[in-house]
């Protein structure tokens, strides 16, 4: 598919696109939905992304950092709930050096065999390697936008080039690599979203997470219009058509904009859900955007809730670790 074709799909009314993406999903990755248990282990971040609620300039955030014991406790509970993958996500928190994280991974991995995904931001090639050697399997780092001008505006003191380099470093280190973009950033065009999708293919991503931008009141984008659920869903569906065998989550941000957002996404190309396994008040404090779902719920509740929803649309919860199975496409 070329850029013009992607653009016309993104401009189409969507119904046929969603159906086509659902069929491709079924053909290439089947009816199983992979669940990934998400631990938000620190909301301390040195970056200042204009859209993000935990940006360093936001002084209204109650910052927290889980102790090693708490992380291990949440990890064990996630395993007990039946999760086969753990996603360890945080702001870019310098306290968690590669050594400290490697130590935690080594305490979780060998005894449990659970797959570990990291989502901790930009690091050096050596750190990516060290964490891979410690036992991490996958790494998520969204490109956010491939529009150079927009990237610069949204990310003070950061560069698109560096971000891309990190993604290639992650790949070279041997991880399954996940990236993705925000949809509806101020000034973002349909053409630039088409370029984002082409970049996912160029990188050879194994996982793509796409979510609508949701304005947060304590950020410079408080009064920006925000992204639409429909357009985010279209970007996701086109991504499924172009990369038929990858893993695509139905993102939490989609459910924030539409009470049935995750189920609709699962029926429009998605095959993964990432329920939160962080406990207590930490959920509320990890506020990337307002209206985040499940902030008062428990890991047990979310696990049961999401399984029920998945079964309600005739799909099953996978018993496997959900690595990408590459197809010949």
Residue 144 partner contact from ligand FES, ligand 5AD, none using kind-dependent CB cut-offs of 5 to 8 Å: ligand 5AD
Residue 9's binding partner, choosing from ligand FES, ligand 5AD, none, with beta-carbon cut-off 5 to 8 A by kind? none
214 binds, among ligand FES, ligand 5AD, none (CB under 5 to 8 A by kind): ligand 5AD
Q: Which of 18, 200, 213, 229 binds ligand 5AD (CB under 6 A)?
A: 213
Nearest in space to 217 (alpha carbons), one of 61, 45, 4: 61
Interaction with ligand 5AD in 46-75: which residues (CB under 6 A)? 51-52
Q: Under the criterion CB under 6 A, does residue 214 sit at the interface with ligand 5AD?
A: yes
232 binds ligand 5AD (CB under 6 A): no
Q: How far is the CB of 113 from ligand FES (least distance, A)?
A: 25
Range in contact with ligand 5AD (rule: CB under 6 A) among 39-47, 73-81, 166-174, 208-216: 208-216
* Torsion, CA 312, CA 317, CA 322, CA 324, rounded to 10: -30
Distance of CA 170 to the CA centre of its chain: 15
| Per-residue binder mask for ligand FES (CB under 6 A), 294-323, x = binder | x--x---xx--xx-----------------
- Nearest distance, CB of residue 40 and ligand FES, angstroms: 14
Strand partners, 187: none
Query: Which lies closer to ligand 5AD via its Cβ, residue 58 or residue 318?
Result: 58
Pick left, alpha or beta for residue 204 (phi over 0 → left; psi -120 to 50 → alpha; otherwise beta).
Answer: left
The answer to the question of residue 253 lying near ligand 5AD (CB under 6 A) is yes
CA–CA distance, 229 with 312 (Å, rounded to integer): 22
Write down the least CB distance from residue 271 to ligand FES, Å. Answer: 17
Parallel/antiparallel/unpaired status of strands 32-35 and 138-140:
unpaired
CA 267 to CA 265: how far, in whole Å?
Answer: 5
Q: Which residues contact 291 (CB under 8 A, 6 or more apart)?
A: 214, 256
Comparing CB distances to ligand FES, the nearer of 94 and 308 is 308
Tell the smallest beta-carbon distance from residue 203 to ligand 5AD (Å).
15
Task: Give one word for 317, left, alpha or beta, with left for phi > 0 and alpha for psi -120 to 50.
Answer: beta
Pick 93 or 144: Cβ nearer ligand 5AD: 144
Residue 213 contact, options ligand 5AD, ligand FES, none, Cβ 5-8 Å cut-off depending on partner type: ligand 5AD
Q: Does 275 contact ligand FES by CB under 6 A?
A: yes
Which stretches does DSSP call E strand in 146-283?
176-183, 207-212, 272-273
Q: d(Cα 234, Cα 13) in Å, to the nearest integer?
A: 9
Q: Distance (Å, rounded) from C-alpha 280 to C-alpha 275?
A: 14
Which residues sit at the interface with ligand FES, rule CB under 6 A? 275, 294, 297, 301-302, 305-306
């Amino acid at each position: 598919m070329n850029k013009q074709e992607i653009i016309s799909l993104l401009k189409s009314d969507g119904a046929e696109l969603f159906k086509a993406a659902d069929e491709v999903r079924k053909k290439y990755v089947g009816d199983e939905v992979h669940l990934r248990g998400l631990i938000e282990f620190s909301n301390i971040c040195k970056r200042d992304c204009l859209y993000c609620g935990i940006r360093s300039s936001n002084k209204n955030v109650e910052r927290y950092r889980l102790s090693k014991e708490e992380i291990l406790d949440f990890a064990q509970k996630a395993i007990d709930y039946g999760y086969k993958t753990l996603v360890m996500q945080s702001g870019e928190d310098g306290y968690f050096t590669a050594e400290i994280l490697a130590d935690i991974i080594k305490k979780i991995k060998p005894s449990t065999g659970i797959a570990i995904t990291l989502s901790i931001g930009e690091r050096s090639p050596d750190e990516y390697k060290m964490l891979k050697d410690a036992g991490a399997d996958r790494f998520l780092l969204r490109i956010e936008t491939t529009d150079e001008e927009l990237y610069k505006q949204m990310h003070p003191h950061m560069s698109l080039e560096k971000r891309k380099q990190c993604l290639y470093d992650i790949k070279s280190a041997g991880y399954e690599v996940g990236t993705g973009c925000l949809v509806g950033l101020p000034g973002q065009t349909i053409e630039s979203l088409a370029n984002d999708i082409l970049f996912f293919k160029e990188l050879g991503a194994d996982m793509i997470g796409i979510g609508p931008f949701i304005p947060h009141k304590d950020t410079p984008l408080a009064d920006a219009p925000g992204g639409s659920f429909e357009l985010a869903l279209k970007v996701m569906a086109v991504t499924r058509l172009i990369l038929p065998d990858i893993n695509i989550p139905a993102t939490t941000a989609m459910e924030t904009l539409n009470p049935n957002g995750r189920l609709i996404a699962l029926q429009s190309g998605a095959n993964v859900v990432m329920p939160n396994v962080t406990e207590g008040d930490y959920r509320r404090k990890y506020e990337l955007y307002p209206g985040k779902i499940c902030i008062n719920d428990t890991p047990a509740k979310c696990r049961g809730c999401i399984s029920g929803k998945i079964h309600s649309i005739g799909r099953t919860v996978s018993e496997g670790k959900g690595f990408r199975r590459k197809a010949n496409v």
